[in-house]
Structure 1
Amino acid sequence: MKLTDDLALEVSGLRKTYGSVVAVDDVSFAIRRGGSLGLVGESGSGKTTIAKIILGLESAAAGQVRACGRDRTAAARTLGERRRRAREVQIVFQDPHSSLDPRQTIGSMLEAVVRLHHRDLIAGERRQRVMDLLDMVGLHERHTAALPREMSGGQRQRAAIARALAAEPEVIVLDESVAALDVSIQAQVLNLLADLRERLSVTYLLISHDLAVVRQLTDTAVVMCQGQLVESGTTAQVLDDPQHIYTQRLRASVPGPTWVRRVSATPSILDEGGAS
């Protein structure tokens, strides 16, 4: 794969083993700046391992990872490099309840991230940035004082998205980020993510087993099976005309059309006790 400057994320020949077990076997894909790619597969297919390598949480046995034009295959050597990498690539996890510090208010959490990555801002500017982030994800000023346990699942996930955005990353890894939400709230959060991508030109790597979610949020898709990439193409091609038997089985396992109904991303999400 030729590595070019217009790519936000590039994975080339990636391989990861755990002893004699090959978790990821010669996987390559790329996402253009502002694009969105779905990494599709069942549990154990290797997609989460790939995400961990991209984020620097695991090391690869072979291959290369580049983000924002810079190599990040080897471990970061300095604190400054670790901060830069974190600023470039952020993640939103599946379960916001466990990924948010239960002792920290949403406001203090966001301000800490802003302070870490934007040291030139003074206190008043940091507070304004926190307010802007809350507004960006559809939360209210009152949520600055809220602890995660005082918020609904949808509100917690919006706060987790705001935390990822606080670093102003170019790439966001979405690791099954709506899987823990009920269907109506899932649709609202997907709408929010789609709107943020368009507004901010952020790049998404979506990790999901849910073909409906992949269809709504991504331009291209790659399908993983037992550590290998078995199919890739535009999302429409992969989902509507799958060529590999594994992808065909995935497609056949989905009852009815693989689509997600777009609903308004803003109604009642600020109402405590609402469906958010």
Structure 2
Amino acid sequence: MAFSPLRSKAFNHGRSLSFPSKTHPSTSQFDENLSIVRGSEASCSSLSSMNNRLNGLKNLYTNVDALLLLPNIQQIISQEGQDKWVDQVLDGYISLLDACTTAKDLVSQTKHDVQELLSALRRKDVRGIHCYLNSRKKSKKMIQKSLKNLRSFTSKQNVLALDKDKQTLALVYMLKEAESVTISMFESLLSFVTTTKVQSRQSGWSLVSKIMRTKKASYERDLNEFEKMDAFLQMSLEDVQVEELMPHLKEMESRIHNLEEELECLFRQLIKTRVFLLNILNH
């Protein structure tokens, strides 16, 4: 998702809009981490890469916090306290926290679904497998609704051209670009999770048997974990032993758990950054 919140002529200068040199290393660190997070968008093809991207976002907001501690930055925010862009940034954090909460809930549900599927496969419980398939269908509907809300939020977040000095413009740019890549991350994460396309209209042990079969080619292609599960659920050519499927699901469960923890860390970091802003405005 490409999103540049500030499109005034002043921002055509790009890198020239920065805080005074020799101020704080977090200025360059922010630019570096922003580039890393942006560059990772195209390479998020696994749960591990999603974890890395979330960690990069957390580092980005750590840089934001460090910059918000600078006296000159605090002075700018205090002076601009009644300006519309400040309210928009603060409201944006509420939307980011809501999106993060939704992502956490959906990831937690996904982990639960995988755990239930593991249990059903151990017991050869067809009913349990049907429950997994139905839960995944419900999750997909929730994800589609969440994606729609995220895209609606993005379309409303463009900031009008600001008649401000360069330091203020640079500050707004920093805060809005952090917001932009965060929304992009949530969109990527939800789209990643919803790649699974399942069909639940099957009965009897044939459903379990179908889960045990897939194409070897599916492993040779660059599939994410959910696409591999899709292959397990839909392909029916070459037999796959339960012993081969279970390790994949166990590893998937572990990685989803890590993703859940990274989302919790990002959630706490977003709260911390918003509190920093509020404290500056209230002093």
Where on the TM-score scale, by shorter chain, does this alignment land: which range? under 0.3
Task: Choose between structure 1 and 2 for higher RCO, CA contacts under 8 A separated by at least 6 residues.
Answer: 2
Higher helix share: 2
Quick check: which one's strand share is greater?
Answer: 1
Q: Look at both structures and tell me which one has the larger radius of gyration over its CA atoms.
A: 2
TM-score, normalised via structure 2 length:
0.27
- In the superposition, the TM-score normalised over structure 1's length comes to 0.27
